[in-house]
Structure 1
Amino acid sequence: MVRRALLFFSAAARTVRCAQLDPATADRIRGAFVGALVADALSLATHYEYDATRIKKFYGAIDRYYAPGEKTGGTTHGVGWGARNFHDGNGNGPAKQAGEQTDYGDYNLLVAEHLAATAPSRPFDVAEFLPRWREALATWRSWICTQTRLTYNQVAQGAPVSSLGGNSNAMSFRGAALLGYYNDEDAVANAARKASFTHREATALDGSEFFARVAFRVSRGAAPRDAIQEVAAASSPFVQKKVAQALAKVDEATDPAQPLSKEDFVDDLALTSMARLWDVGKSEPIKVGKASPTEGTLPGAVYFIVKYDNNLVAAARANAEVGGDSASRAVAIGAVLGAAGGLGAIPPELGAGKLVEWDRALALLDRMPLLRDDDSGEL
């Protein structure tokens, strides 16, 4: 009898808490997930194009969705990897088209798919996610990164979950949908780290957790800069240093008295000035500020979020115009600023009928515990 009463109380409490999710918060949660996809899709054209002057020459302003390298012969200049189409379909179908996702957006969709299938019964679990992940990779039309390939082979060889992934410092935030799955910041942060299981280096995981916590707080009503500073204050020394660096660079780039603010390529110079050179050994060295390592991706994303405060489209466009591994920054930028503005932050020209995954994204969100209509509770 006592056990039955406790179960009833627990279920009732979950239902009440779910019902108390106000419309504004629900809209911000939806905005975070769809915003991540919008920013990612805007970066598709110039993903792995490392020459900002070339981007401006061919595209001008990135004011709509473009196919990969649409105006540069179908390729982008991935320094160290040569000019190629990094989203050519992998032999699994046609190359990505305007309004589709890079691998970063596809990963966020895949995690959302898994959450929708398991909601509301249990937390995110990598072992449970792996079959869906392996099945998706068989038809994956986006770029498949080195760490994903490595992890796929580890799984095929029977490696335990605890040892999966490579020691890559590239940040891969995949947790935008988690904001609608958990109503607890620590749970969101923990699941975001787990979802980055292919990249197990400490700073990469810290970066994923950082943006998960920031997006969570913004989706619950905090201002982006406030959330960034508050989360950083309780984060690792690495995160604290990188956030401070980014905020200082925003101040420099927006101060009329500073030379940087007068540059034509102010955002490009801002990102590259926050990074070391990285000699990839195949052609010329690149600036890490535009590449995938978290030491550049984290401050770069923070820079765009804060400089283009509460303007998702302006930040996402500026990010795409800088190039490099722009999609790694894009999903973080879109999640935070999408949470700030909700679905209303996304204009019609980037929304339904333009973003290929628009309908699917909203359908997946409707199955999240905090957003579904059937009183099935929350985690």
Structure 2
Amino acid sequence: MLPRVSSPLAALASRATSCSQSRSMSSSEVPSLVSRAKGAFFGSIVADALALGTHYEYDALKIKRFYGDIDRFYSPGEKTGGETHGVGWGGRNFHDGNGVGPAKKAGECTDYGDYNILMLEHLAATADKPHRVDLNELVPRWKEALPQWRSWICTQTKQTYQQTLNGTPLSKLGGMSNAMALRSAAAYGYYSDEEDVVHAARTMMFTHREETALDGGEFFARVAFRVIHKGLSPREAIEQVAATSSQFIQEKVKFALKKVEEATDPANPLSKEEYADDLALTSMARLWEVGKSEPIKVGKASPTEGVLPGSVYFIVKYDNLYEAARANAMVGGDSASRAVAVGMVLGAAKGIEAVPQRLRETLVNWEKYDALLNKLPLIRDASKTAE
């Protein structure tokens, strides 16, 4: 028997009740279910695409000097000669096409966005008979896609691919990286049950086995779900989910919310700093000695201990998809890892309408992704009901 996938129509009815109880939005401001589900996906990849130009650039002052205030899509290192400075790895173009195609261009995504796009394609291909994500179906699709992958290929992806060639059981795939790789932004158009969404989030992170990384992905999956289906504000959902999460999650969320207070309190020195966001994230970090040329401040890098509080910080401080995505790109580092979480949660809260029209028009393949979203069960069925 297949695991339960709740009725889309039942979800619509329950959502109407829960949204009427929301403390954060009036009924006229609440986006539709379709808008929220699409907003979660497009929010994630738009925020990711905004981060492409400065992805892995760890110098916020350099970003400001070359880009000003990021308000459009840029190609990788567009203003810095095609290179960004991956601390410890030197300057390079991290999205140069990997020898299989042209370098990424403005309006395309980093590897984080590309993973979410791949998962959308997978869900759309299985939409006729909805069921939980199955690695027996997903891994072959992933292996077929990798030879044409034009984004940066992370160490865990390389390692997992080699494991599949060596015959490693699917249940044992992945490495022990603590980097958060959130890939489930399309799941909100497919599943109406929170546990199904969580299962999708953890399963789609099959290249990672380290528990804090998986817990981080689960945390944001639950937050976005409750924003969509329980009518909570992002902060309300963050606090609610954190209350029943691990001590690790609770500590990182508490730290992030405290930093938001400091950054928004006119009496606090941090709020007066030109680079307040950069200082906020790096102040939540330890130095990561990785045996390279210099240490990395984890608050701006890929480990979940920095990505999670950094993402919470941008979500709560700005409570605006476009402004949070811009601010995240301006900080740099592994900004794409934060972008997916920031965009997914705020897109779920504000709906697809929160994406500025000029970014819709310049995001590569917007129409293609929208057509795939329309195939997903919740979006498909809600659209039929509205007709």
Aligned residue identity for 1:69:
G
2:289 pairs, out of 276, 279, 301, with: 279
Structural mapping, 1:84-163, within 5 Å: 84-121=92-129, 122-163=131-172
Q: Which residue of 1 aligns with 2:269?
A: 259
Q: Which residue of 2 aligns with 1:334?
A: 343
1:301 pairs, out of 298, 308, 311, with: 311
Structural mapping, 1:163-242, within 5 Å: 163-220=172-229, 221-242=231-252
Alignment check: 8 A CA contact 1:49 1:324 kept:
yes
Alignment check: 8 A CA contact 1:18 1:375 kept:
no
Deviation at 1:332, TM superposition (A): 0.4
Partner of 1:109, secondary structure, is helix
Alignment check: 8 A CA contact 1:369 1:376 kept:
no
- CA deviations on 1:266-311 (whole Å, 9 max, x unpaired) are 00000000010011211111100000000000000000000001x1
2:80 pairs, out of 72, 78, 101, with: 72
Q: Which residue of 2 aligns with 1:350?
A: 359
Deviation at 1:376, TM superposition (A): 10
**Cα 1:263–1:92 shift into 2, 3 Å:** same
Partner of 2:152, secondary structure, is coil
Alignment check: 8 A CA contact 2:8 2:381 kept:
no
- CA deviations on 1:172-209 (whole Å, 9 max, x unpaired) are 00000011111011110111011001011000000000
- CA deviations on 1:45-81 (whole Å, 9 max, x unpaired) are 0000000000000001001000000000001000111
Partner of 2:197, secondary structure, is helix
How many pairs align? 365
**2:376 maps to 1:362:** no
**Cα 1:15–1:25 shift into 2, 3 Å:** closer
Deviation at 1:19, TM superposition (A): 6.9
Deviation at 1:120, TM superposition (A): 4.1
Aligned residue identity for 1:372:
R
Question: In structure 2, what is the Cα distance between the partners aligned to 1:270 and 1:375?
Answer: 42
Alignment check: 8 A CA contact 1:50 1:324 kept:
yes
Identity of aligned residues (%): 66
Partner of 1:83, secondary structure, is strand
**Cα 1:15–1:182 shift into 2, 3 Å:** closer
Question: In structure 2, what is the Cα distance between the partners aligned to 1:41 and 1:375?
Answer: 28
Q: Which residue of 2 aligns with 1:6?
A: none
Deviation at 1:15, TM superposition (A): 6.9
Aligned residue identity for 2:166:
Q
Q: Which residue of 2 aligns with 1:5?
A: none
Deviation at 1:127, TM superposition (A): 2.0
**Cα 1:123–1:208 shift into 2, 3 Å:** same
Deviation at 1:14, TM superposition (A): 3.8
- CA deviations on 1:138-160 (whole Å, 9 max, x unpaired) are 10000000000000000011100
Deviation at 1:357, TM superposition (A): 2.7
Structure 1 outlier segments of 4+, above 4 Å:
18-23, 373-377
Alignment check: 8 A CA contact 1:147 1:168 kept:
yes
Please provide the CA RMSD for this pair. Answer: 1.9
Higher alpha-carbon deviation: 20-29 or 263-272: 20-29
Alignment check: 8 A CA contact 2:8 2:382 kept:
no
Normalized against structure 2, the TM-score is what?
0.91
Partner of 2:75, secondary structure, is coil
**2:321 maps to 1:312:** yes
Aligned residue identity for 2:187:
L
Q: Which residue of 2 aligns with 1:55?
A: 63
Aligned residue identity for 1:34:
F
Question: In structure 2, what is the Cα distance between the partners aligned to 1:313 and 1:260?
Answer: 22
Aligned residue identity for 2:318:
Y
1:17 pairs, out of 10, 34, 48, with: 10
Question: In structure 1, what is the Cα distance between the partners aligned to 2:226 and 2:274?
Answer: 34
Question: In structure 1, what is the Cα distance between the partners aligned to 2:174 and 2:184?
Answer: 17
Higher alpha-carbon deviation: 284-293 or 120-129: 120-129
* Unmatched 5+ stretches in structure 2: 17-30
Aligned residue identity for 1:139:
Q
Partner of 1:77, secondary structure, is strand
Partner of 1:179, secondary structure, is helix
Alignment check: 8 A CA contact 1:276 1:287 kept:
yes
Aligned residue identity for 2:264:
T
* Unmatched 5+ stretches in structure 1: 1-9
